[in-house]
Amino acid sequence: MTSLLHFLLKLETKQSENGLRRRAEELAVAMECRCYESDAKNRTRYVEYRFALRDYLAAACCIAALAAVILLLLGQAGVA
């Protein structure tokens, strides 16, 4: 009984090792197909952007233009 248990454990270990090896090979092929390089020269960096004065000015201009269009449309409709 114990020899059967040892055999099954060895079989399960070999199958899981084969699965891991196959997954590693698939990952390596996928990385190679995407031309992945391990050097960090061409890697993108995470940059957190913040609003600057020109962003607030652009937002104010867009809001003013929208308000002007709404007022013009209301004026043509005879509401204002």
71's CB contacts (< 8 A; 6+ apart) are 80
Percentage of residues in the chain with pLDDT exceeding 90? 32
Strands of the chain (E only): list them. none
pLDDT class for 62, splitting at 50, 70, 90? very high
Q: How far apart are CA 50 and CA 13, in angstroms?
A: 52
pLDDT exceeds 80 at position 42:
no
Judged by DSSP in three states, 43 sits in coil
Note the pLDDT tens digit of each residue in 11-34. 667 767 777 788 888 888 887 888
